[in-house]
Amino acid sequence: MSEGNWLNKLKEIILVKNGELALKGLNRRNFEDTLAKNIQKAAASCGGVNVWRAQSTMYVTPLEGTDIEDAVACISRVFGIAALSRAAEVEKNMDVILPSVCAYLKDDLENAHTFKVNAKRADKKFALKSPEICAAAGEYILKQFPHLTVDVHSPDVTVTIEIRDTAAYLHKQPIRGAGGLPVGTGGRVCVMISGGIDSPVASWMMAKRGLALSAVNFASPPYTSRRAEDKVRDLLRKVAMWSGEVRLHIVPFTEIQEAIRDHCPEDMLTVIMRRYMIKIAQAIACEDGALALVSGESVGQVASQTLGALVCTDAAANMPILRPVIGMDKEEIVEIARRIDTFEISILPFEDCCTVFTPKHPKTKPSLDKILLAETALENDTVCVDDMIERALTNTTVEIIRPE
Ligand code: ATP
Ligand code: MG
């Protein structure tokens, strides 16, 4: 048969190797089920795939009309995957395997200088042992592509032949997966999302650890615009390409912010505002079944993120506040923001409610006692903050943000 004919006959699939899942003992099944569902959801946007699993590998078959390249791109963003390979599935017969592998990897082999063959024989009934498969394939490939030499240490192409129970699978070196754990296996968190660089990265990092995302954004119209809200939606659409759907709550925060501005000492404004944000966000988190809040704070980055300020912020919370970027430099955060494609959106110059009433000289070492006194004064003497919080919660809008 000619090369073209071999190529036409090949059925392509995607082999997915689990990541940390292997470590999870009894939970493993639950993790694998979630991963399979997440793969299916991620690939739905490009036509859909079927997923089945055996021998610690997921076999992903594109549905009719699904472009396999698009499916690989979608699946490479699913957390819980260590590596994935686009592979040809062929009959377990060396007379089929050898010409198929040459036809399937023709472009790679033509453009390479060196190669090696890697054989995996999961089906122990297969007549040839792994070293024999390597030897036969090596010899065959060298005949077809005489310009190549074998390099077992750092070859340009690693031709892999896997003999499994179901069939033989042929592929080159795998692509790195997104790593982490399948979203949803760790429960849910509620991210405090601004339009900045840090909180989308913090969201992505928590999704990577298997947590489903709700998000809360505080908007202060007319000080903040509709475009600032849309920016948050755009950012979350990017994050959702990795995390899956995000439940976004937009909280009208103007009334509370004005009350704080009008009745609290100027140098405490930011910390007090952040404490009210926390109180509202955790009410929303509870409603959504989230067990913790997430923020994009990094210690020392700005006045409201000194250790002292973080202590005062934390004192308003009765659930954990996770801060995945806490020890990262801005440059390190930006590197991730670029990778997940949020950076260019984040730097668009729309105002955030945190930047509308910023004090000229914020306290970098706020005293919690003084802050509590200022809040008591605000709550007792002037305005009924509890009612304001109630109103903010009642008027909060909820929407589902889906991948871009
Ligand atoms: P980012 O780049 O994420 O905006 P930042 O360095 O600008 O962070 P701040 O504006 O002080 O820092 O905000 C610190 C954190 O507080 C943010 O990372 C986010 O988690 C939360 N936050 C700030 N503004 C808002 C907002 N309008 N709505 C919800 N959360 C917010
Ligand atoms: Mg910000």
Indicate whether residue 302 lines ligand 1 (CB < 6 A): yes
Please state which of the ranges 92-96, 136-140, 154-158, 265-269 shows the lowest mean pLDDT.
Answer: 265-269
What domains lie within the chain, and their CATH numbers? 3-178 (3.30.2130.30), 188-401 (3.40.50.620)
Q: What is the 3-state secondary structure (H, E, C) of 47-94?
A: CCEEEEEECCEEEEEECCCCCHHHHHHHHCCCCCEEEEEEEEEECCCH
Closest C-alpha residue for ligand 1 atom 22: 194
Q: 189-210, pLDDT tens digit by residue?
A: 999 999 999 999 999 999 999 9
Return the closest-CA partner of residue 172 out of 123, 125, 111: 111
Q: ω into residue 222 within 30 of 0, thus cis? A: yes
Q: Residue 295 corresponds to which tokens in the numbers above?
A: 């923020």
Answer with the residue of higher pLDDT: 125 or 364.
Answer: 125
Q: What's the pLDDT score for residue 2?
A: 65
Q: Are 53 and 59 in contact (CB under 8 A)?
A: yes
Q: Are 113 and 157 in contact (CB under 8 A)?
A: no
Q: Are 68 and 48 in contact (CB under 8 A)?
A: no
**Average pLDDT of every residue of the chain:** 92
Average pLDDT over residues 346-369: 79
Q: What's the pLDDT score for residue 404?
A: 87
Q: Is the pLDDT of residue 276 over 80?
A: yes
Interatomic CA distance for residues 266 and 361, integer angstroms = 8
Q: What's the pLDDT score for residue 24?
A: 60
Ligand 1 pocket, mutate which of 198, 329, 350 (most atoms under 8 A from CB) = 198
Q: Is the pLDDT of residue 281 over 60?
A: yes
> Which pTM was predicted?
0.92
Ligand number with the minimum distance to the CA of 354:
1
**pLDDT-based confidence at 1, cuts 50/70/90?**
low
Q: What's the pLDDT score for residue 6?
A: 63
* d(CA 5, ligand 2 centre) in Å: 57
